[in-house]
Amino acid sequence: MKTDLFVGGRWTPGSEGTFPVLDPSSGETITSVARAGLDDLDAAITAAHEAWPAWAATAPRQRGEVLRRAFDAMIERREEIAALITQEMGKSLDDARAEVTYAAEFFRWFSEEAVRIGGELRTAPGGANRILTFQRPVGVSLLLTPWNFPAAMATRKIGPALAAGCTVVLKPAEDTPLTALLLAGLLADAGVPDGVVNVLTTDKPGDLVTKALADDRVRKLSFTGSTQVGRLLLAQAAGHIVKCSMELGGNAPFLVLDDADLDAAVQGAMVAKMRNHGQACTAANRFLVHESVVGEFTEKLVSAMRAVPSAPVINERALVNLEAKVELSGGAIQLGGKRTKGSGFHYPPTVVTDVPRDSALGREEIFGPVAPIFTVHDDEDAVAFANATEMGLVSYLYTADLARGLRLAERLDAGMVGLNRGLVSDPAAPFGGLKESGLGREGGFEGIAEYLETTYVATSW
């Protein structure tokens, strides 16, 4: 288990000492990792900046082959990586295995996209000249990842950055730094040159990130996290007009229409709500169920949720936040609702009905295993309540009528819609939101564009 910083291809201690990493299941310390300081940040940016010209000039096929070897290594070491994710993040081993497979796919997908970076040749409408375009890597990229998917959120950013020819400085979340450090070593073993990938760990990120965005060598910021922090980072990035992509908060509605297959809807709800114990920006946040089926749906959901064992949330702060939201909701608790006794930060699967729409459970992202159910009267009521939020990441919709579902999907303010599906994430699909849920897209054909700039040449012959 590596616990030092990874800078310029070398493992180095942090200049600000160390900080502990806790196991959410027990609350005990797993180990301590290096705390990066401003000198470490400068060294990492310098290493990335110096490595960038050679990496950008590396043949796209060669960059792709490196990423493909990283994919193979992740699959080969899946059990090891999954065990580490479970230890530092607290998700079940099955969830962790699924994350490793999902995370590795970003390396495979972008290994194939590296060779498809292209340009265009057009004739100007007036016929005076030709319009030639080509794409080039944006440069040194600062990647800030969250704790809930410590492998996948890193590979979803590193994959397209390296495929495009960029170099990176990755700062993982303080709760889950160990997976990022493991990935740094894995990428080095796969053939990533020194300085192309650098990892800084810290539990005091504010000054480091501010300093990084004030450094004119940093040309790209990719952040996954809260909308509140995203606003601050966008303001800081404006100083040097840093190119930004932001995957921010969610408040996902899960619509169950009167004609829905309720068994399928509950099955989808369990995926959309309980994946990663509800700690996902894509998690179903508000269940909007038609009044004619709300009773039966509630019974089926409570039964399904009751069969899920209690699991930890990430830390004590998250646990207290969940308790407060449920206690102040004013709803009727049908299942759970109280923290699980014992060590660690455990909170049980919880179902709440008769929830006021203006309560915290109706307005705010929950980020935990709590399912509030709201009754809606018709399609218009459902869409209006679904869109009554500043967020617009993902929506879920269950109906037996495909045409009806597609019509409503077009009206939902969301960058992604799960139509009769409880899972939308896919490395081949563009992941991202509308409104205050973010800017740009990750994954899909669109994902690599976030790390490229277009140059236009006017010429004639």
| Residue 309: predicted pLDDT | 87
- Tell me the per-residue pLDDT of 183-193, one tens digit each, with 9 for 90 and over: 999 999 999 99
What average pLDDT does range 258-269 have in this prediction?
98
CA distance 74 to 88: 18
Q: Which residues contact 365 (CB under 8 A, 6 or more apart)?
A: 249, 250, 251, 281, 285, 391
- Is it the case that residue 341 has pLDDT exceeding 90? no
| Residue 281: predicted pLDDT | 95
Under a CB-based contact definition with an 8 Å cutoff, are residues 412 and 254 in contact? no
What average pLDDT does range 392-414 have in this prediction?
98
Displacement of CA 40 from its chain's centroid (Å)? 26
Q: pLDDT grade, residue 26 (50/70/90)? A: very high
Q: Which of 105, 244, 281, 436 is catalytic?
A: 281
What average pLDDT does range 429-444 have in this prediction?
97
Q: Rounded to 10 degrees, what is the CA torsion of 358, 340, 179, 181?
A: 100
| Residue 340: predicted pLDDT | 87
Helix (H) or strand (E) holding 230: helix 227-237
Is pTM beyond 0.85 here? yes
What average pLDDT does range 262-291 have in this prediction?
97
Q: What 3-state DSSP class applies to 292?
A: coil
- Tell me the per-residue pLDDT of 91-128, one tens digit each, with 9 for 90 and over: 999 999 999 999 999 999 999 999 999 999 999 999 99
Q: pLDDT grade, residue 330 (50/70/90)? A: confident
Under a CB-based contact definition with an 8 Å cutoff, are residues 258 and 292 in contact? yes
What average pLDDT does range 319-337 have in this prediction?
93
Mean pLDDT of the chain: 97
Helix (H) or strand (E) holding 245: strand 243-247
Under a CB-based contact definition with an 8 Å cutoff, are residues 222 and 106 in contact? no
| Residue 252: predicted pLDDT | 97
CA distance 127 to 303: 69
- Is it the case that residue 310 has pLDDT exceeding 90? no
Q: pLDDT grade, residue 168 (50/70/90)? A: very high
* Annotation marks residue 166 as catalytic: no
| Residue 50: predicted pLDDT | 98
Q: Which of 99, 247, 442, 450 is catalytic?
A: 247
Structure tokens that stand for 155 in this block:
């590979």
CA distance 419 to 402: 9
- Is it the case that residue 4 has pLDDT exceeding 90? yes
Indicate the residue type of 355: V
* Annotation marks residue 247 as catalytic: yes
CA distance 196 to 66: 12
